[in-house]
Amino acid sequence: MIRYLTSGESHGPELTGIIEGIPAGVPVSVDDISLQLARRQEGYGRGGRMAFEKDVPKIHSGIRFGLTSGGPIAMSLENRAYIKDEANWPVVMSIDGDGSDIEKITVPRPGHADLVGTQKYRFDDIRPVIERSSARETGMRVACGAIARNLLKAVGIEIGGHVLRVGSVGYDNWNDIRAIVDPLSKSGAENVFKNADESEVRCLDPKLSAAMVDEIKKRRKEGNSLGGVYEIIITGVPAGLGSYVHWDRKLDGQLAHVIMGTQAMKGVEIGLGFESGGLPGSEVHDEIIYRDENFQRKTNRAGGIEGGMSNGMPIIIRGVMKPIPTMLHPIDTVDINTKEVVDTRYERSDVCALPRAVVVIENVIAPVIANAFLEKFGGDSLDEILERYNPAS
């Protein structure tokens, strides 16, 4: 099974990751990983840090001559902030010393991990909480996910995401979205992300894209922040990944777990999701037909998953991201030392990270789909898997 571990702080020297369980013989290049990392760093609404933080992965093990070896793959990503500001971050993040000469951060941001993190770990300084809870960590998660994504690509499974809503601007309904997305995903979900990447907010509708940019500009001027809703499509998934036989083998549950495990994500839907709760069954369930010697569905409101298993239709996942907690315009909070009400403090931050978060989600779900695939068709090498897996059968 594929599993990975990340380590590192936002302003420490680097992020480190080890992914293991990737079969041998999967083509992986630094460029493949860099592409996903670059996508994670591009999008309207980003903060100052992204302007100088260009992630290039260093691969330390597990890949030889462009192919995975079957062994653990270790990677690192330098934090440019640490290197660029050498008078500051190496001192603030020093391994040695007692930190008595370093200014403590004592003003927690509502909506962030700050306050509860200090209570839980008994810190009198919020800095260690800020450093590890930061979404900078998603850089390494994307790097690990990008490798799983290459395995999926080799068996014809593609993933692509796009933005549905930023703040108050978004599509009106399911059918409007399907009319734009379904024709694009017919030739594979990568077509969805490639088209969405043309927009600086990763929205496929040009008019909505422009309105979303205006919405972000407006909130930026106020010193405010925004979240929104995104959709991920996965194509080429054979029927029968996941299982109904036990709760923790359900594919939808596994997908929700990794999405909710990502910073700022507050909800997940599969297919029609929450909308299905307000409709009668006849307008929710997809009628089954038998065509071209295959069982198919007339519609895909289930979003490609029934009974915790992929049903052969494209998987459609939506998620909601809350507005960024760090805001230029202060709100009330309480100093953890003095217990007095104070304004929140501002540290360089995004206004709306949703266009970048879509890329994070595409990559964090890749290992879940890859694991479900390996469970059914797995082998030690890609060649062995391809002998076992015949999508036409």
Ligand X SMILES: Cc1cc2nc3c(=O)[nH]c(=O)nc-3n(C[C@H](O)[C@H](O)[C@H](O)COP(=O)(O)O)c2cc1C
* Chain contacts with ligand X (rule: CB under 6 A): 47, 112-113, 133-135, 138, 262-264, 322, 324-326, 349-350, 353, 356-357, 360
Between CA 249 and CA 350 the distance in angstroms is: 36
Nearer to ligand X, 68 or 263 (CB): 263
The residue (of 167 and 242) whose beta carbon lies closer to ligand X is: 167
| Least Cβ distance, residue 134 to ligand X (angstroms) | 6
Pick from 127, 135, 142: nearest CA to 227: 135
Tell the smallest beta-carbon distance from residue 247 to ligand X (Å): 23
Closest approach, Cβ 77 to ligand X, in A, equals: 14
**DSSP per-residue string spanning 137-206:** GHHHHHHHHHHHHHHHHHTT-EEEEEEEEETTEE-S-HHHHHHHHHHHHTT-THHHHHHHTTSTT--SSH
Least Å distance, CB 113 to ligand X, is 5
In the complex with ligand X, the residue whose CB is nearer, 26 or 353, is 353
Instruction: Find residue 294's DSSP bridge partners.
Output: 291
Question: How far is the CA of 358 from the CAs of 10, 143, 212, 330, 384, in angstroms?
Answer: 20, 14, 15, 27, 32
Residues 81, 84, 90, CA angle at the centre, nearest 5°? 70
**Shortest Cβ distance from residue 122 to ligand X (Å)?**
19
CB atoms closer than 10 angstroms to residue 330: 14
Listed in sequence order, the residues at least 6 apart from 72 whose beta carbon sits closer than 8 Å to its beta carbon are 18, 19, 20, 61, 62
In the complex with ligand X, the residue whose CB is nearer, 178 or 345, is 345
Dihedral angle of Cα 363, 365, 371, 377, to the nearest 10 degrees: -90
CA–CA separation, 76 and 84 (whole Å): 17
CB of 120 to ligand X, least distance (A): 13
Residue 242 or 319 with smaller CB distance to ligand X: 319
To the nearest whole angstrom, how small is the minimum distance from the Cβ of residue 138 to ligand X? 5
Q: Decide whether 259 or 369 has the Cβ nearer to ligand X.
A: 259
Q: Which is nearer to ligand X, 67 or 92 (CB)?
A: 92
Residue 116 identity: V
